[in-house]
Structures are given as C-alpha cells and as structure tokens.
C-alpha cells in the first residue's frame, strides 16, 4: 500500500461532487484483441477510427462535466491503448460515502497480460489526486469494478470460466474460432469479502463471452444503487434466480436488442438530489422509459467506436472514484486530456 499525501481536507461546510477516471484516447487502438468485439469474423483485429473516438470521448466527458462531475484523465501511452477503459483499474472502498480521500482505499486490479502495463499509470494518477492505493494478490486475475460493484446493500462479484485465449479449429467458414473466456478469477472472492465485510457478496456467474465483464450485463443505478439493469441471457440460471430473489422489483430487464448495444454498460450518477443514467447511443426508447419511470433521467451518449472496436462502452470508459469535497486539489491530471 502506498499513500502520497499526508493531510486530510478540512470537512467544513463544502459540498461534494463525483470524481471519475477517464483515459486519454490519443493512442486508442486494438492491441490484444481479447474480447469478441475487437476482431472480425476472420479473427483479424479491428482498426479504430481515432478521430471519431476522440470526438466521442470528449462528448462523454463534456456531458459529465456539465453535471458537475470532476474528471481525472489518465495520460496516454502508445504502448497501453487500453487505458481508455479505466473501469478495469480497480475499485474503491465506500465508493459512495462522503469521506475524505484518506479514509478510502483504491485496490488496483490485476489485468490480463496485454493490459498489465496499465497498472503504474493508474497508480500515479490516483496517488497524485491524494488516494491511497493497495495491491491484491497477483496470483489471481481481477479486473476491478467491471466485475465487482455495489448494488443496494450488497456487492456483486461476477466471473466466468478463465481460458487461455486462442484460435481453435471448427466446422464452418472460416474453419476456426477464437476462444476468449472471462476475466476475473473466482478464487479471489475471499480476499474481496474480507475487504468489504460486513456487506455481503453475491457471486454471479457470466455465460456469454460477448458480455465478458459483469458491467456489460448488469448495472446498478438510481439513489443508493437499488435498481439493477439486468441482461438475463448473459447470466447462468442460478445467477438470475439469485438476483430476482435478492432485489425483487428492483431488477429491470434488458432485451436482446439493447443488450447488444451494451445498455448495461451505463454509468449511474446521483448529484444534488437528482439521479441520472449515462447510457450508450442506440438504446431503445422503451428502455429509457423504464429508467424514467423509476425517477432516473437517461443521458444518452454515442461512444460506438469504443464498443464496436474495443468492446467497451460508457461504463468501461469510467472509473468511479465517488464523491470528493469541493475545493480539494486532485492534482495536475484533473480535466486534462487530448485536444484531438
């Protein structure tokens, strides 16, 4: 564990604003091709329209800032194009609590080999902002809040079968397919349980490689995160039953059409008594109306280049750092980023 700043901010009477991580898209490209969205049916890696990606990234960042969100930007590195998806950076304890940064800990993720080099970049930005960072046992792959996040009074830990990513022969055209598998190792669950105790953890097994992280099939939203967008087909039957039994009417189902647009990969924001849900462009009006009926305002943002080429949408592009007091210096990375 490391801790750069030694002082706590004066709590005083200041307000609180959400802070998030975003990764400068200047070098966004497909490097490893480690999920089904990143490759063509022939297995070749997709090419990114970087100009469009930068434009879309700024569109999301600007809408967030309009609603008072503070943005820390991870500087670009041509060797680490996956920095645009900082939901995988790790997770923060008590993410929704209005506490000084020194009272929270950010646990850094153990990413798959093609993205492992991102870790020191996240550490530098977070520590510059005054956050304490800690490491988890590196024997276990774990991809942060993409697979571990709060829902109401619980945490969900999502996982699936880990695979050595590879091409295998099959009948058809082309005569091969790529095996991707999932991302977080189930064996890390006892370590996570000790961190968030006494809050209970529900283990949710994922089923579809195209929804390889939990935050591509599930999204907690609204006040206190009591509502849960859920793509049933992306989960095992046992996981679906467990969610329905635990959260009841709080479960909001996503159909196949919206699931393919990564509707669950949305970002929840409750600020100044109002709740919003930042959703990917193309989500249906019927799903947006379901969100409105629950007192939450949908904010639809086009980030299609990040989904179609990299396999990540709105939530993948955001690392949630929780509320931070107004006036607290978050360092030189706040509101920076490429100008295109």
Beta pairing class for 16-23 and 319-325: antiparallel
Per-residue pLDDT band at 31 (split at 50, 70, 90): confident
Please state, in angstroms and as integers, the Cα–Cα distance from residue 9 to each residue in 1, 68, 337, following that order.
Answer: 21, 20, 26
Report which of residues 305 and 93 the model is more confident about: 305
Phi, psi angle pair for 175, to nearest 5°: -85, 35
Q: What is the pLDDT of residue 245?
A: 98
Q: Check if the beta carbon of residue 224 is closer than 8 Å to that of residue 258.
A: no
Q: Check if the beta carbon of residue 209 is closer than 8 Å to that of residue 217.
A: no
Return d(Cα 137, Cα 142) in angstroms, integer.
Answer: 9
pLDDT digit string, tens, across residues 137-173: 999 999 999 999 999 999 999 999 999 999 999 888 8
Contacts of 277 (CB under 8 A, 6+ apart): 219, 221, 222, 266, 267, 268, 269, 291, 296, 297, 298, 299
Question: Average pLDDT in the 100-129 region?
Answer: 94
Residue 2 has pLDDT above 70, yes or no: no
Q: Which tokens belong to 96? A: 């929704």
User: Model-level pTM greater than 0.85?
Assistant: yes
Report which of residues 235 and 33 the model is more confident about: 235
Beta pairing class for 90-92 and 105-108: antiparallel
Contacts of 143 (CB under 8 A, 6+ apart): 88, 109, 110, 111, 112, 183, 184, 213
Residue 66 has pLDDT above 80, yes or no: yes
The single residue listed with the structure tokens 């699936």 is: 160
Per-residue pLDDT band at 79 (split at 50, 70, 90): very high
pLDDT digit string, tens, across residues 235-252: 999 999 999 999 999 999
Return d(Cα 322, Cα 194) in angstroms, integer.
Answer: 21
In the chain, where the domains are located = 16-325
Q: What is the pLDDT of residue 134?
A: 98
Q: What is the pLDDT of residue 10?
A: 41
For 188-234, the DSSP string reads GHHHHHHHHTTS-EEEEEB--GGG-SGGGTEEEESGGG-EEEE-GGG
Per-residue pLDDT band at 7 (split at 50, 70, 90): very low
Return d(Cα 207, Cα 195) in angstroms, integer.
Answer: 26
Residue 3 has pLDDT above 50, yes or no: no
Q: Which tokens belong to 274? A: 């109002």
pLDDT digit string, tens, across residues 13-30: 469 999 999 999 999 999
Residue 293 has pLDDT above 90, yes or no: yes
Q: What is the CATH number of domain 16-325?
A: 3.75.10.10
Omega before 330 cis (within 30°)? no
For 158-191, the DSSP string reads EE------EEEE-SSSSSEEEE---SS-GGGHHH
The overall average pLDDT reported for the chain is 92
Q: Which tokens belong to 14? A: 């200041």
Return d(Cα 100, Cα 128) in angstroms, integer.
Answer: 15
Return d(Cα 242, Cα 146) in angstroms, integer.
Answer: 19
Q: What is the dihedral of CA 34, 40, 46, 49, to 10 degrees?
A: -130
Q: What is the pLDDT of residue 14?
A: 66
Could you tell me the end-to-end alpha-carbon distance of the chain, in angstroms, rounded to an integer? 35
Q: What is the pLDDT of residue 277?
A: 98
Q: Any idea what DSSP says for residue 53?
A: H
Return d(Cα 150, Cα 221) in angstroms, integer.
Answer: 10
Omega before 198 cis (within 30°)? yes
């Amino acid at each position: 564990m490391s801790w750069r700043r030694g002082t706590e901010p004066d709590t005083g009477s200041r307000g609180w604003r959400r802070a998030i991580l975003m990764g400068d898209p200047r070098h966004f490209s497909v490097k490893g091709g480690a999920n089904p969205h990143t490759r063509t049916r022939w297995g070749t890696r997709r090419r990114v329209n970087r100009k469009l990606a930068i434009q879309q990234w700024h569109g999301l960042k600007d809408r967030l800032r309009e609603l008072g969100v503070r943005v820390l930007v991870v500087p670009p590195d041509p060797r680490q194009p996956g920095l645009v998806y900082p939901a995988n950076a790790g997770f923060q304890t008590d993410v929704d609590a209005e506490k000084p940064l020194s009272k929270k800990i950010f646990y850094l993720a153990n990413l798959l080999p093609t993205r492992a080099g991102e870790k020191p970049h996240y550490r530098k930005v977070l520590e510059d902002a005054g956050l304490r960072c800690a490491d988890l046992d590196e024997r276990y792959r774990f991809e942060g809040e993409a697979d571990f996040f709060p829902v109401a009074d619980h945490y969900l830990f999502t996982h699936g079968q880990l695979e050595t990513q590879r091409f295998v022969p099959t009948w058809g055209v082309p005569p091969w397919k790529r095996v991707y598998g999932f991302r977080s190792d189930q064996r890390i669950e006892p370590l996570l349980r000790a961190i968030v105790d006494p809050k209970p953890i529900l283990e949710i097994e994922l089923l579809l490689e195209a929804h390889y992280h939990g935050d591509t099939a599930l999204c907690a939203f609204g006040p206190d995160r009591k509502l849960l967008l859920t793509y049933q087909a992306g989960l095992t039957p046992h996981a679906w039953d467990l969610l329905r039994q635990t959260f009841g009417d709080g479960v909001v189902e996503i159909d196949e059409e919206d699931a393919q647009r990564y509707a669950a990969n949305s970002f929840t924001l409750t600020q100044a008594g109002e709740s919003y849900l930042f959703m990917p462009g193309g989500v249906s009006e019927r799903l947006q109306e379901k969100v409105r009926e629950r007192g939450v305002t949908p904010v639809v943002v086009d980030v299609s280049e990040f989904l179609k080429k990299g396999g990540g949408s709105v939530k993948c592009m955001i690392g949630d750092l929780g509320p931070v007091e107004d006036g607290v210096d978050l360092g030189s990375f706040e509101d920076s980023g490429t100008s295109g």
